[in-house]
Amino acid sequence: MNSALPDDSRMRALLERVERIAVVGIKAGEGDDAFRVPRYMQAQGYRILPVSPKLDRVLGEPVARSLGDLGETPQLVNLFRASAHIPAHTDEILALPSGISSSSRSAARGSTRSPLATSRSTSPTSRASTCRS
C-alpha cells in the first residue's frame, strides 16, 4: 500500500469530523464519478459545496467558480481534476480559512486548522488521495 494514502480507519475518522465538503471539478452528468460521489456524500448528510466554472447549480446547490468564491468554509476539499491540474489548487486550498477540529463533526466550527484535502484524479491510470491532519 502506498504510504501517502490514508488507511481505512484514518479515512473514517476524518469523515466523522467533517460536515462541509467542497467538490472542485463537480459535474452535472449522472454517469460521472464527479457527480455520483458528491451526490452519495450529500445523501449521507454532508453539506456539498460545489466548485466549477462551468456550472451554475448542481445537487440543488449554487456552484462557486473557485474555492475562494465559496460562501462558507469547507472542512474537506475533494478534487475531481486530472492529475496535471491538482498542483494548481494547492495554494487555493492552503489559503482557505480554518478547517476542522480534531475532536468531532459537531465541534468542527471554530478550529484554527487548515482544511483537509483529498483528490481523485480523473485519469484512469492515476489515482491520488492525500489527507492532512
- Whichever domain contains 84, its CATH number is 3.40.50.720
Residue 100 located in a structural domain? yes
Q: What is the DSSP letter of 122?
A: S
Q: What is the pLDDT of residues 66-103, one digit of tens each?
A: 999 999 999 999 999 999 988 889 889 988 887 544 33
- The boundaries of the domain holding residue 88 are 8-121
Instruction: State how many domains the chain has.
Output: 1
Residue 102 located in a structural domain? yes
Residue 130 located in a structural domain? no
Of 19, 38, 24, 25, the residue nearest 99 (C-alpha): 19
pLDDT of residue 6: 76
Tell me the H-state helices in the chain. 8-17, 33-43, 90-94
Whole-prediction pTM value? 0.72
